[in-house]
Structure 1
């Protein structure tokens, strides 16, 4: 005798309740964790971009300082009879200036554009004033020093502002307001601070012959 069948003919087998099926998709906790991880990654990318922009800015400033240093060296070689003198009273190319505005640049007594330069010293004064103006436009609050120096670096190889005051070669030392490798802001205008020259360039004026 056949076993009686339940249900209607052709009906599909009944399915278990939905509560017994495996759940799919993401929970709120998983979504929150993903958002946190994504946020950390984005913050890291922003930080790297900011560091790269700062590094590019410092590279441009260093390149500008090096270019200006070469220009000053050319001016000194073109006026070497003045540039080889060892005192600032006789040699306007020897100076130590922190440039915070146009008022810090001394105006030469003679305008070489309109009156010409009667003496080589007048030409040197004009060269220095013109050079300082371009340095001020190129670098943020720069400090520039030119002196005779046989030893511009200390025993650890770190550049320093102090000069020996003797030797046969003048040295240009330049710095500006910048963030150092520790992330601390160094102000070139603070001559008593711990900041050091960023660029040190020897300037050969030539000989008196």
Structure 2
């Protein structure tokens, strides 16, 4: 009888110890899951930033192709493509034109075509990139001494390269950092354009 009660007490003690083990393992597992959730959030944010970067590069290349297609206008000293810096929301060029819209006609006016292409392109940049800022200008020093891109354009010579600079607002990728890098801080994409040469 005495050994039976001792056996029952040992079984109860072991059963209680198993419950404590289960609770400790649940706590350890929950900490691991919290870490995974943090990594997932950071991964989603980095993925979004990479998608926006890719979109900006595609848009910049698209404008470069438009300028190559209308190189007579792109190479002018007062080219309609060279709009300087625009940060309004939505982005609108100094001289907006909608002659490429359905039911409209630009005719043979290449300057009107350039203005209409730029108007349409800036509208798409506004839609695709949050808080977008654009600069299209001639520049020989697009990067500061520390290697970061800068918005200011330093050239006044008509033979200097044309650069398309695009920036947008993006949250910090550092864990726990809630700051947002504004488009005004620096361009994220700087693309040189070579429209060609006049014959």
Superposition TM-score tier, normalisation by shorter sequence:
0.7 to 0.9
Matched position secondary structure for 1:21? helix
State the distance in 1 between where 2:45 and 2:149 align: 22
Deviation at residue 117 of structure 1 after TM alignment: 3.8
Normalising by structure 1, we get a TM-score of: 0.79
Partner of 2:63: 72
8 Å contact 1:110–1:117 — kept in the other structure?
no
Query: After TM superposition, what 4+ stretches of structure 1 lie above 6 angstroms from structure 2?
Result: none
Structure 1: gaps spanning 5 or more residues: 1-12
Deviation at residue 58 of structure 1 after TM alignment: 0.8
Aligned length: 187
CA RMSD of aligned residues (A): 2.4
State the distance in 1 between where 2:33 and 2:129 align: 32
Answer 1 or 2: which has greater helix percent.
Answer: 2
State which structure, 1 or 2, has the greater radius of gyration over its C-alpha atoms: 1
Q: Deviations over 1:98-136 (max 9, x none)?
A: 2423xx425735624412244221111101001011111
8 Å contact 1:170–1:202 — kept in the other structure?
yes
Structure 2: gaps spanning 5 or more residues: none
> Does residue 180 in structure 1 map to residue 163 in structure 2?
no
Normalising by structure 2, we get a TM-score of: 0.82
State the distance in 1 between where 2:106 and 2:154 align: 35
Q: 1:51 to 1:132 in 2, by over 3 A?
A: same
